């Protein structure tokens, strides 16, 4: 069984994620006035710098909201990121996440082709999904509807059996997926660009690979060396065991 993260592993959706984050607080006005391309073109360089820094620390859509705080432009590390995130009142964070989710759904509905085009497959991913002989599942913080539409757009809808969307606990999701097939965690290969997720899934006994082409920090690199995390590089996808 092959279990993959989505954003940062299967496809690059940096611009799309930046757009829904930036306009999370004004989703209705944004969708009524502009297309995805226009919204992306209007992103200020300063915001893109902040979002790029925040994206490296993020596991969930909630975490993206840190980029709305100007202090995130020069993040000193995970502790500083955590402090800014913790300072966001729960009600405001929930409202922003709901706005970002609504904006994503509206862009997908109103500008489907353009929105789909903002999700680019990483080199080698298509070949991996097309040749894999076993079950392929996606476990991701992105919503299931978006993931399935993006896969179908790239002609890969039939290559993925199941999608666990809006997932905050990938360890639990992996355990549930292998149990559904009557397997043990050792029968699963899990790939994620978030080091924390990779470590948590590795502790189940699954083969966990850290996707080095995704989003990570210098602290992640140091921690990965201490914890002896197996890295996976894009050129190695062609040889990933089926």
Both structure tokens of 223: 């921690």
Question: Cα separation of 205 and 129, whole Å?
Answer: 23
3 state SS of 193: coil
pLDDT at residue 31, as a whole number: 76
Per residue in 123-181, pLDDT (tens digit) is: 999 999 999 988 999 999 999 999 999 999 999 999 999 999 999 999 999 999 999 99
> What average pLDDT does the chain have?
94
As a whole number, mean pLDDT of residues 46-54 equals 95
DSSP 10: T
Both structure tokens of 127: 């070949």
Reply yes or no on whether the pLDDT at 241 is more than 70.
no
For residue 11, what are the β-bridge partners? 7, 121
CB 54 within 8 A of CB 72: yes
3 state SS of 175: helix
User: 166-174 long-range contacts, Cβ below 8 Å, gap at least 24?
Assistant: 166/141, 166/142, 167/139, 167/140, 167/141, 168/59, 168/60, 168/141, 170/5, 170/139, 170/197, 170/200, 170/201, 171/197, 171/200, 171/201, 171/203, 171/204, 173/139, 174/3, 174/139, 174/201, 174/204, 174/206
Both structure tokens of 235: 């050129």
As a whole number, mean pLDDT of residues 102-129 equals 95
Per residue in 52-95, pLDDT (tens digit) is: 999 999 999 999 999 999 999 888 889 999 999 999 999 999 99
Question: Cα separation of 164 and 89, whole Å?
Answer: 28
Computed from CA positions of residues 236, 157, 34, 7, in that sequence, does the dihedral angle turn out positive or negative? negative
DSSP 121: E
Both structure tokens of 224: 């990965």
Percent of the chain with pLDDT over 90: 90
Angle 197-12-8 from CA coordinates, rounded to 5°: 10
Higher pLDDT, 174 or 239: 174
Give all strands (DSSP E) within 122-161, no chain letters.
136-139
Question: Cα separation of 52 and 64, whole Å?
Answer: 10
pLDDT at residue 74, as a whole number: 83
CA distances from residue 75 to 55, 158, 164, 186, 215 in whole angstroms, order as listed:
11, 40, 31, 37, 15
């Amino acid at each position: 069984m092959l279990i993959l993260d989505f954003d940062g592993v299967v496809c690059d959706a940096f611009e799309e994620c930046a757009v829904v984050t930036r306009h999370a607080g004004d989703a209705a006005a944004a969708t009524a006035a502009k297309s995805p391309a226009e919204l992306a073109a209007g992103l200020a360089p300063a915001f893109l710098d902040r979002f790029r820094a925040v994206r490296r620390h993020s596991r969930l859509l909630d975490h993206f909201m840190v980029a709305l705080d100007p202090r995130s432009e020069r993040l000193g590390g995970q502790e500083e990121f955590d402090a800014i995130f913790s300072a966001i009142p729960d009600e405001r964070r929930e409202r922003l996440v709901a706005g970002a989710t609504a904006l994503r759904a509206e862009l997908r509905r109103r500008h489907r082709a353009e929105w789909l085009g903002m999700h680019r497959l990483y080199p080698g991913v298509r070949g991996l999904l097309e040749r894999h002989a076993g079950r392929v599942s996606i476990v991701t913080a992105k919503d299931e509807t978006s993931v399935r539409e993006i896969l179908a757009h790239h002609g890969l809808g039939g290559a993925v059996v199941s999608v666990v969307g809006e997932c905050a606990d990938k360890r639990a999701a992996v355990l549930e997926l292998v149990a559904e097939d009557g397997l043990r965690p050792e029968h699963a290969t899990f790939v994620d660009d978030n080091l924390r997720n990779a470590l948590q899934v590795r502790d189940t006994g699954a083969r966990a690979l850290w996707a080095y082409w995704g989003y990570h920090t210098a602290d992640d690199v140091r921690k990965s060396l201490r914890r002896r995390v197996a890295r996976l590089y894009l050129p190695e996808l062609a040889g990933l065991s089926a």
